[in-house]
Chain A
Amino acid sequence: ETGVTQSPTHLIKTRGQQVTLRCSSQSGHNTVSWYQQALGQGPQFIFQYYREEENGRGNFPPRFSGLQFPNYSSELNVNALELDDSALYLCASSLGGTGSATNEKLFFGSGTQLSVL
C-alpha cells in the first residue's frame, strides 16, 4: 500500500511568484484535503477535493486554488505569493463518499515546506 507522497519537500520562492505543490493520495483514496501549517501553529484547512470537485473550503483567499486529477492526485496552486504564505503545506487523503468514512482514516503526507522571501 503506497502512502501519501508530496513534492517537492522544500521550496523557496519570492514574493509575487506563483507556486504549485503536488500530492499523490494513498492507494484507493478518492479524497484529498490540503492544510497550511504556519510556524508554531496547528494545521489550517484550506480546501478539499472529492472526485475532482472542490468539496469545501476554509478561510483562504481565491489565490489559493487546487485541482484533483482522475487518478485522485492533487495540486495546490498559490498565486501572487506573500511573505505570510511561508508555511508547511500538508496534504491528507481519505476515502470519502461512504457512510463509514471517519476522520481516523485521514492519512497525511510529510508536507512541502514553502519559504517566501
Chain B
Amino acid sequence: DQQVKQNSPSLSVQEGRISILNCDYTNSMFDYFLWYKKYPAEGPTFLISISSIKDKNEDGRFTVFLNKSAKHLSLHIVPSQPGDSAVYFCAAPLPQSNTGKLIFGQGTTLQVKP
C-alpha cells in the first residue's frame, strides 16, 4: 500500500520558470510532511516541511502548499535554476512515531534546462 504517492516520475522546465511537483497521500493520520532533494551519488537532504495546521510554508524560492481535504501537497520552485535538477521526494513521518521513521513517495526527477 503506497501511502505517499508521486505520480509524475519526471518533470522538465526551462530555467527561470516555475516548477511544480505534486504529492498525494492516503493516510489521514499524517500530520507533517517533508520534501527531500537527492542528487546522484548523494543521500537525500532536507528541503522544506509543512505541518498540517498550515496550508502554506515558504522558504526562499521554495514553497509547499497543503490541501488536507484533497490529501494533496505540492512543491513550487520559483524561479527554477539548473542547480535544482535532482530527484525530489515527499515524505511523511509514520503516525505516532519519533524522528527518523518516514514514508517516502516514489520521487520526481526534475530537470531544469538552461
Contact = CB atoms under 8 A, between A and B. Distances in A.
Interface of A: 4, 31, 33, 35, 40-45, 48, 55-56, 58, 90, 92, 94-96, 101-111
Interface residues of B, number: 27
Contact of A44 (B32, B43, B97, B104): B104
A48 B93 CA distance: 13
B82 interface: no
A45 B43 contact: no
Contacts of B16: none
26 contacts: A31-B100, A35-B104, A42-B105, A42-B107, A43-B44, A45-B94, A45-B101, A45-B102, A48-B100, A56-B101, A58-B101, A92-B100, A94-B100, A95-B99, A96-B99, A96-B100, A101-B98, A103-B46, A103-B102, A104-B46, A105-B99, A106-B100, A107-B43, A108-B45, A109-B43, A110-B42
